[in-house]
Each structure stands twice: as C-alpha cells, then as structure tokens.
Structure 1
Amino acid sequence: MKRVVLLAVLSSILFSGCEDVIEVDLPEQDTRLVVDGLIRVDTDQTYLPVEIKLTLSSNFFEENVPTSAESVLIMYEETVDGIVVSQGSSSLAETSPGSGIYVPDPNFSSDQRIPTSLLDRNFLFTLLIRHQGRLYLAQTRYVPVVPINSITQGTGTLFGDNETEVIVNFTDQPEVDNFYIFDFGFGEYLVTEDEFYKGQEFEFSFFYDQEFDPGTVLDISIMGADQTFSNYMDQLIEQSGDSQGPFQTPVSTVRGNVFDVTDLDNIDVIDNVDQPEVFPLGYFAIVQEEKAQVTLN
C-alpha cells in the first residue's frame, strides 16, 4: 500500500507541469453509526477493559466523526437448559461530552465494571445502544486464545529490501476449531484459522513494508475469534488494504454483528426487520489477547 502511494506522489511531481486538473465527484455515502466494540481481555486483570467507541461514517478520504448516544448498556446472562441462572448489566457513560467513548459509569450508584472472573462461565453478552432515536443490538460470547511462544526477527524479504521480517511461533489448541487475529501494530492485522495445523506448533513470517531503527521494540498480539468475527475481520482487512484500523474509515459497508432493531418484529431473529438498507457498521466482541515483543537488530 505504501509503495502505491509513493508511486502516485512521484507521478504527480513528474507530470504536474503538463496535466490538467480533473475533479472527480465521489458518490455520497449514507451516514451510519459505527460501533468499535472490540474488548481485548487480559485475564490477569480484575475487570474487563470495557470501552465502546461510537462514530458516524463519513465520505471517502474523511475521518469518522465521534457521536454521542442517549444510552449504552451491556447486559450478560448465563443459561442452563434454557433457564437463566445468572445475569447482570453494566451501564456505560461517555468519558467526556462529544467524545463518543463509553466506559462503565463511574458515577453510578453501584460498581458497573464487569469482573473478568465471569469469563470462566458461558455468559452471553448483549450490547444495547440507543442513538438518535434508534435502538441497536449486538451479542457475543467470550473467546479465549493461546499464548505466543516466540517472536524473532528474520532476514528474509518478500518484495524488496525495504522490509522487516518477524517470525511468529504459537501452538494451536487441539480438539476445537480455532480462529486467530494477529495485531502487528500500525493498523496491520492478519487472520488465520487452524484448518491445516490443528493441535500443532505453527510458525509463519510477517513482513512490514518498512525498515526500523535498531533497538525498535515491536508489540505484537494474538486474539481469539469465533468464525463470524474472523470472517468479518478478513473482509475488512482485504478492503481496507491494511492501511488503517478496522473501525476507522470503512471503505465499504461490511456488515458486522451490530443490528438496528428499532422495528424488530421477531424476538428470535434480530436481523428480521425487512429493511435491508437500515444497518450500522462495526462489531462487538470480547476476546482474550496475549501480547509479545521483539527488539529489532
């Protein structure tokens, strides 16, 4: 992606003296609510790091705009044989007016933080957002992950010399189908599943499209994911070109797991409102994150 941008800039400089200015009318995009609800859990911490970011989608090449909601709430419940045996909720408040960032309300009459210990049980978490008179809903369950065994610096290249190779090693959890999301920083993500390395130690190379100064420390993390979240991230990474975070400026209307349920007509099917053009963007997920570092030579 960076090479393409560089070539475009060089071409602009070389031919600026003989080119006419052409104005291109880009299509207007419908403004949609964008929900950044990815909660990355460190199981050594006492409470979940709940932070929900709300923005409004923008036109091409423009940043999303923070937006405030009338209310944001996370409910959670545990069921056994269809019977609710435990439940609770967390009321969220905006960190500052107009920020669009919501965390457990520190001024509530009781502690609204969600204990990490709940993740040892199979709770269903429901995010409810009331925004500009409409009601949005998303549901998820916690997904654990395996640790990273090691990260080392490699010497290989993929397309040229101005690259940095890191070699990641981890061991897949056996007996279940696993999906993993790697965060390499700089808005670069990678999605993988264990179809061909189930229960085995697995190693792969990732190439940064740049060189770093010696002594640079890179923070890399692995997150658990279910198949739906994995598919969502895979589509978003492909369409964003690895040039930005997954919730910054969506280049297309990739559907997540957040639904507009204002006109819900069936409590068993949350996307059954017969309005295919009425939907928000973004995702709500609670996943374990394991981090590792590598110091470059």
Structure 2
Amino acid sequence: MKKAILLIVFLISIFFTSCEEVVDVDLDNAPPKLVIEAAINWHKGTNGAQQTIKLTTTTGYFENVIPTVSGATVFIVNSTGQQFNFVEVPNTGRYVCTNFKPVIDEQYILTVISNGNTYTANETMKSIAPITRLEQNDEGGFTGKDIEVRAFYNDPADANNYYLYKYEYSNKVTSNYYVDEDKFFQGNEFFSLSDDDELKIGDKISLTHYGISKQYYNYMSILVSIAGSNSGGPFQSPPATVKGNIINTTDKDNYPLGYFSLSETDSRTYTIIAQ
C-alpha cells in the first residue's frame, strides 16, 4: 500500500511538471519620452536660491531602473530677462541652480535643450497662505474611530487660490497628494486633512501646502484621479499619458511628460499623541 501511494504521488508530480509552460509576454515598448520634473518650490523662511530640475526618460514596464538624461542645457528666465542656469550634477540627470530668485506673481520661462530638441514652458510663481495650526481628532473617518490631523490656514479673500497638499506618513512608504480650490471657502479659514486610517500613537506626519496656478491645479486634478491620491508621487508612472505645460518647439508631436510649476510652500511635522 505504501508503495502504491508513493507511485501515485510520483505520477502526479510528473503530470503537473509536464503541464508547466513558460509564457513570454511580448510587450510593445513605445519610444522613450523625456520626463521633465521642474517643480520650483520656495519654502517660507528661506531664500529659495537652490532649486533642482530632474530629467529622465520613460522606460519599459518591467524595467527597475529609470534612465537619466545627461548633457542637457537647462535654464529659467524671468520677466526682466534675468537667466538662471541649472548645471548638472555629473551623470545624475539632476540639474541644480544655486542663485535662483523667487518672486511671488513673477512669470518665468523654462527652457530645456536635449538631443536636438528644445522644450519650453511658461508659469507664474504662486503664494501660499501660512499654516496657522494643527489639530488632531481621534473620532474621524467614516467610522468615527480613526485618527485624523487637520492643518488650518486662512485663505486670502482678494484672489482665487489653488492648493496642492502633500502628506507623508512614517507608517507608509508612499505619499498622499490632493488638490483644492477656494471656490467654497474664499476668504475664510480652511484646512487640509490627513488620509491614513491606520494612524496610531507615535506615528509621524510630514505635510506640505503648495500654492499653485489654476492650470497646474487642473493638471494635478487629472493626474491624481488617474494615479490615485496614495502614490509615490505625481510623476510615478501613471497608467495613462497626461500632457503637462511643457512643449517641444522643435517637434510638437514629440511632447515631453512632466510639468513646470513654481510654488511657495509651507510645511509642518506632527507626531500622533494620546488624548
């Protein structure tokens, strides 16, 4: 009987082994596109002189390494014609400027020259209302049992304002982004809100508010809705192509991905406490 059982197990193992077949999935890879991450952020209380622009390309779905772009010419010009040059940290695709001059409501033009193509974009530096206070609520969420944190600010009444909020959590790898406009709270106190139903005592939150243009608000609304608010970032391989404000003046059909934005920012950190 024991021999019979061993024989059956042996035959079954041969059967399943013979049924295994390696299937190679042949995915068509589109030609790589230039990705320009040109988020110029001026944190309150700093001079905003050091700024970084990152150049990469899209790559295959199963690739783990994102190709960087070296040897490009990158600069920004303000409305008075002053030029701010971004110099590459060798072989990194990171281009750094150390003398940038951010001015609220100033208009800037970005130029990137790479591989025979010239890319340009126009944008305006937007201000941000300062964060005035943080509040922890232990009866939040749909269940009334979640911990949530609110970051309050006073929205200026003299303009239409648009906001980007970023929340980073010590208990998660990814960040949370979402956008807002002051259509229903213009001139009043309002707040951003954490979005992590697993917060517990001791967890840390880093949050940032960005002042953004209406155009960037529209772009991020689409991007966040496609990629989901809980993501590694707004440029982390969204499942669909979203065009930004950067155009290829050499070949308009060969448009890049990414966006040129200029934001004043305000940030806070908070540790969840027992209440």
Provide TM-score, normalisation by structure 1.
0.75
Code of the residue aligned with 1:102 in structure 2: it is Y
1:167: how far off? 2.0
- Residue 7 of structure 1 is matched in structure 2 by none
TM-superposed CA distance for 1:24, in Å, is: 5.0
Query: Are the aligned partners of 1:150 and 1:169 in contact in 2 as well (CA < 8 Å)?
Result: yes
- Contact 1:150–1:292 at 8 Å: present in 2 too? no
The 3-state SS of whatever aligns with 1:46 is coil
CA–CA distance in structure 2, aligned partners of residues 91 and 204 of structure 1: 35
Residue 90 of structure 1, CA deviation? 1.3
Q: Where do 1:99-118 residues align within 5 Å?
A: 99-104=92-97, 113-116=99-102
Mapped partners of 2:145, 2:50: distance in 1: 37
In 2, the alpha carbon distance for the partners of 1:244 and 1:21 equals 32
- Name stretches of at least 5 consecutive residues in structure 1 with no aligned partner: 1-18, 78-85, 105-111, 264-272
In 2, distance between residues paired with 1:157 and 1:234? 25
Q: Equivalents in 2 of 1:49, 1:208: separation in Å?
A: 32
CA distance in 2, matches of 1:66, 1:292: 31
Measured in 2, the distance between the counterparts of 1:161 and 1:286 equals 38
Partner of 1:198: 186
Q: Report matched runs for 1:149-188 at 5 Å.
A: 149-158=132-141, 164-185=147-168, 186-188=174-176
Deviations along 1:178-225, whole A, 9 cap, x unmatched? 11000102321110101111111124543214334x333311111001
Q: Percent identity?
A: 28
Within a 5 Å distance, the mapping from 1:43-54 to structure 2 comes to 43-54=44-55
Q: How does 1:80-95 map to 2 (within 5 A)?
A: 86-95=80-89
Offset at residue 293 of structure 1 (A): 2.1
Letter aligned with residue 207 of structure 2: I
* Pair member with larger Rg: 2
- Structure 1 residue aligned with 2:73, among 66, 71, 74? 71
Does structure 2 conserve the Cα–Cα contact (< 8 Å) formed by 1:147 and 1:170?
yes
Cα RMSD after superposing both structures? 2.6
Using the TM superposition, give the Cα deviation of residue 139 of structure 1 relative to its aligned residue in structure 2, in angstroms.
1.4
Conserved 8 A contact 2:138-2:146: no
Number of aligned residue pairs: 248
CA distance in 1, matches of 2:87, 2:191: 42
Letter aligned with residue 248 of structure 2: D
Distance 1:50 1:261, change over 3 A: same
Within 1, Cα distance between the matches of 2:237 and 2:56? 10
Partner Cα separation in structure 2 for residue 26 and residue 154 of structure 1: 48
